[in-house]
Copies of this chain bind each other. A is one copy, B any other.
Amino acid sequence: MNFNQKLDHAIEKNNSLLCVGLDPDFEKLPESIRNVKNPQFEFNKKIIEATADLVCAFKPNSAFYEARGEQGIRDLKMTCSYINKNYPDIPIILDAKRADIGNTNNEYIKFVFGYLRIDAVTLHPYLGHETIQPFLELKDKGIIVLCKTSNPGAGEIQNLIVNGEKLYKLIARKIVNEWNKNNNCLMVVGATYPEELAEVREISGDMTFLVPGVGAQGGDVEATIKAGLNKAKKGMIINSSRGIIFASSGDDFADVAKKEARKLRDEINKYRV
């Protein structure tokens, strides 16, 4: 089963386009969790158990683990192993935003797909497709390239005009027409720019988008879903991190996360009909 099939299976099984971002900012963990061994893993474990039947994917962001050095990498590895063992139907996306020259990308591949044994990874497009070729050759994995990101200043580079159109649209075309030879590419398109999301959908056929930016970053769910769905009323992985995992700062965090996840999943589904 390749990444897109695994994702599709999870979407159907849980009737969900929701992805929960596992970004366990250590400073924000409940006091009771901060003092246990492997705190980020123990936090994640409770979030995963509470939300695994409500999501189509989990997305740990590497930065929140690296911040804790060796201990954080251990917690990340334990998190991925825990999902793979207990929820093997749910794909894991590492939000790592990597991209280096070719021989170095082979090392990132060892980290993401060898050491962590997960399903998909996010990449920067700036070095071109020649350099991320080692990723593009992994037919069973999801290779998710940044197209239009969710941050307020995303347009500074991404909206520059190239050949009469904005850079992110040109990059979307490249991904769809040239980089996706193995049908394993996806794109990051932020929920904070629904008009741009609609434009990228027009370029991209049915390709799946990873969509950050709803929740804490302010993206509107209705506008996002209406702009980004593909013909099959899917094609989007809607990520929320802080809005779900830190919805409560108390010891009831997992219960509250479950409620928030269900609420957001159902809200998303409301606009899929």
Residues of A participating in the B interface, judged by any CB pair closer than 8 Å? 23, 25, 61, 63-64, 66-70, 73-74, 77, 95, 97-102, 104-105, 107-108, 110-111, 114-116, 124-131, 146, 149-158, 160-163, 167, 170-171, 174, 212, 217
Complex CA gap A203/B256 in Å reads 53
Query: From DSSP, what is the main secondary structure of chain A's interface residues?
Result: mixed
Complex CA gap A130/B154 in Å reads 8
| Smallest CB-CB A-B distances: 6 pairs | A130-B153, A128-B156, A63-B107, A67-B110, A66-B111, A128-B153
B160→A167 contact, CB < 8 A: yes
Can you report 19 A-B residue pairs in the complex whose CB atoms are below 8 A from each other?
Answer: A63-B98, A63-B108, A66-B107, A66-B110, A66-B111, A66-B115, A67-B107, A67-B111, A67-B114, A99-B124, A101-B149, A126-B126, A127-B154, A130-B151, A130-B153, A130-B156, A131-B154, A157-B171, A161-B163
B63→A111 contact, CB < 8 A: yes
- Which residues of B sit under 8 angstroms from A128, Cβ to Cβ? 151, 153-158
A115→B155 contact, CB < 8 A: no
Complex CA gap A213/B215 in Å reads 42
A129→B114 contact, CB < 8 A: no
- Which residues of B sit under 8 angstroms from A125, Cβ to Cβ? 126, 157
Complex CA gap A67/B70 in Å reads 13
Q: Contacting A97 at CB < 8 Å: which of B25, B64, B99, B157? A: B99
Complex CA gap A155/B160 in Å reads 16
Extra A-B contacts (9), CB below 8 Å, given A61-B100, A67-B107, A69-B73: A63-B108, A63-B111, A66-B73, A101-B217, A102-B151, A126-B157, A128-B151, A130-B156, A160-B167
B69→A104 contact, CB < 8 A: no
Shortest CB-to-CB span from A44 to chain B, Å, is: 15
